[in-house]
Chains A and B, each alone.
Chain A
Amino acid sequence: MIHLNKIRGARRRDLAQVVEIDARITGLRKPAYWAGILRRYGGRDPGRFFLVFVQKEEVQGYVVGEVRDWEFGSPPCGWVFGIGVRPETRLRGTGTRLLEEICAAFRRRKVEKVRTLLARDNALVLAFFRSQGMMAAPFIALERDL
């Protein structure tokens, strides 16, 4: 039934499902945030990507990322800053396919690295990215109270 599964750019009508998937994972509903993501990453900017994995008209997962140039002193590279899969459809390769697709899009933009940033205690997503061959980057994230 491969023809029923596809990865494509997110559309306005996908937003409610993306919000629902994100809310189930994080416990927070953020419709305004996702509308903003669609505006900024679902358009024609060739370096920005908001993709959804659709199966029988139902969104099973999403990934958001972009190519950033010379940030943090790094040559242009792809950044993945959001990925989510319906909890009941995990371990079926949805996240892997989404990551592969966005990496292919990054490669088409001629970048050779993909990076992401995660909370240390986000064991599930950390383990996912590790399983995809990602390793610690030569950067250290820092913060302080303001």
Chain B
Amino acid sequence: MPLFGLAPTEWQAVQLSLLVAFWASLLSLPLAVLVAYALARWQFWGRQLLNICVHLPLILPPVVTGYVLLLVFGQTAPVGRFLNDTFGIVLAFRWTGAVLAAAVMAFPLMMRAIRLAIEAVDPKLEQAATTLGAGPIRVFLTITVPMMAPGLVAGVVLAFAKAMGEFGATITFVANIPGQTQTLPSAIYAFLQVPGGMLLRFGFWSCLFLSLFLRWRCPNGWRGALCMAQANDAFFRSQSFRRRFQSCAQISGSQRR
């Protein structure tokens, strides 16, 4: 039964996207905080190397990232086999793999936002807290985290938006299996193969939904500008999707004619 003009299979894609984006943001958060703190505050050998590695998913073509994931976490690959044998976790061609792909792609964005937030926290306040008898962990939890909280939320929302729109790595690593790995962008891509008006409707609703979600999460006056920029960014990405698909549909349509 169509709801808001979307068929059940289309809703499945929306649900899967939400699930994947949620888990991707949540699971990459602790690591992002750790890496952001290390890069912001600590001096150690290999610091620049770590910085470059973390930013790789941002600069490499998404398909390349997906391919690397396949090489490392695929069913015949070393880590993939280890995970399967020891924990029974299978990543390739499962929604868990989509989570991993989305997490890897979204990680640099989240890390950058959190790192900026940590760098904005005045180290003199942390010093003052130390002289008052607070150990390093207490200083981190009571001083650093509350003061970087808005930046942390911005990072999570950013990662969520990126994960929602993640296509290249996902489709390379876990393919396009409806119900398992067919996220929103993959579904749009699949529907592209079938000429018709479903694409526009689908694309429109998904972009509207995403923008509204982000708008709800970041009301005006509270990093509103940043969040709106991210919502616009996600919208534009799907816009360019639509434009590309529209031109492809025109070509396929003209071919048919």
Report whether chain A binds chain B: no
